[in-house]
């Protein structure tokens, strides 16, 4: 097997992973085009190096299979740590799971391309793109419970009154609330409250935040995405 053939496998892996990476870049995700290209290309590189260095004597094909399996396990384990870095958790609110899954997915595409499984690599890319792009539109048609973190700057001596008003206003809009933190800023003479709001798509969260600011007297209200 010539090095040009192996290089062609890497090029195919990078080209296929670019399709997934462009979709992630388009949606402004933490792991974008270059990350997906490097993950897919790196996975293919490891596999083609293994294929180039391991020569299988006649009748000993099991040795090659064992080495390939160990290389694949190493790639998958390493990508798991990389994908974990794209996940952000704040209380019950988690972001980046889909991006982490896409990074892991392109690693699989790179492995398939590096092993010369061109049809599988191409088919997997098409399936992954359909899942990420087409199914993102399907999700908008489905009922979905959305969570946002609301940050309010309030007078420090109005905790109980503010909490009662917040519960009343949110219950009117069928929004569930959970107190994440209440921090007292002694230097500024204010308190910062962080609430986790859970609501369905038909709730105008910006309108609700403005109303909360008006009726609670909050100095500022911010909605974290």
pLDDT in tens, 9-51: 888 988 998 888 888 787 777 677 888 888 888 888 888 887 7
Return the number of other C-beta atoms located less than 10 Å from residue 11's C-beta. Answer: 13
For residue 54, the model assigns a pLDDT of: 66
State the average pLDDT over residues 107-127: 89
Per-residue pLDDT tens for 128-161? 888 888 777 676 676 667 777 878 787 766 666 6
Strands (E), 46-189: 88-90, 93-95, 145-154, 176-185
Domain positions in the chain: 3-141, 145-224
- Structure confidence at residue 169 (pLDDT): 77
**If you average pLDDT over residues 208-220, what whole number do you get?**
75
Q: Helix or strand or coil: residue 6? A: helix
41 closest CA partner among 109, 129, 120: 109
* Contact by Cβ (8 Å): 35, 103: yes
Print burial letters for 190-200: b (CB count within 10 Å at least 16), e (below 16). bbbbbbbbbbe
pLDDT surpassing 60 at residue 64: no
What is the per-residue pLDDT across 163-203, written as a single tens digit (0 to 9) for each?
A: 777 777 777 777 887 777 777 776 666 778 787 878 776 67
- Asked if pLDDT for residue 102 goes beyond 60, the answer is yes
Residue 16 CB: number of other CB atoms within 10 A? Answer: 28
- Homologous superfamily of 145-224 in CATH? ACT domain (3.30.70.260)
Q: Is the entire prediction scored with pTM above 0.85?
A: no
In this structure, the number of other CB atoms found within 10 A of the CB of residue 222 comes to 13
Residues 16 and 43 sit within 8 Å (Cβ to Cβ): no
**DSSP for 168-206?**
HHHHHTT-EEEEEEEEEETTTTEEEEEEEEEEETTS-HH
Q: How far is the C-alpha of 109 from the C-alpha of 13, rounded, in Å?
A: 7
């Amino acid at each position: 097997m010539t090095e040009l053939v192996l290089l062609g496998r890497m090029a195919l892996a990078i080209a296929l992973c670019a399709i997934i990476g462009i979709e992630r870049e388009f949606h402004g995700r933490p792991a974008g085009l270059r990350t997906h290209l490097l993950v897919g290309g790196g996975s293919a590189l490891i596999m083609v190096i293994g294929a180039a260095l391991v020569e299988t004597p006649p009748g000993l094909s099991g040795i090659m299979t064992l080495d390939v399996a160990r290389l694949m396990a190493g790639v998958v384990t390493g990508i798991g740590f990389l994908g974990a870095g794209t996940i952000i958790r704040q209380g019950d609110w988690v972001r980046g799971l889909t991006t982490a899954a896409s990074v892991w997915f392109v690693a699989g595409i790179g492995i398939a391309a590096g092993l010369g499984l061109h049809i599988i690599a191409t088919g997997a890319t098409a399936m992954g793109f359909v899942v990420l792009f087409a199914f993102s539109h399907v999700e908008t048609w489905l009922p979905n419970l959305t969570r946002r973190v609301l940050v309010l700057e309030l007078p420090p001596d109005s905790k109980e009154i503010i909490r009662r008003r917040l519960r009343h206003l949110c219950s009117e809009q069928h929004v569930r609330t959970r107190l994440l933190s209440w921090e007292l800023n002694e230097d500024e003479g204010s308190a910062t409250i962080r609430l986790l709001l859970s609501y369905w798509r038909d709730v105008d969260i910006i309108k609700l935040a403005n109303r909360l600011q008006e009726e609670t007297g909050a100095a500022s209200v911010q909605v974290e995405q």
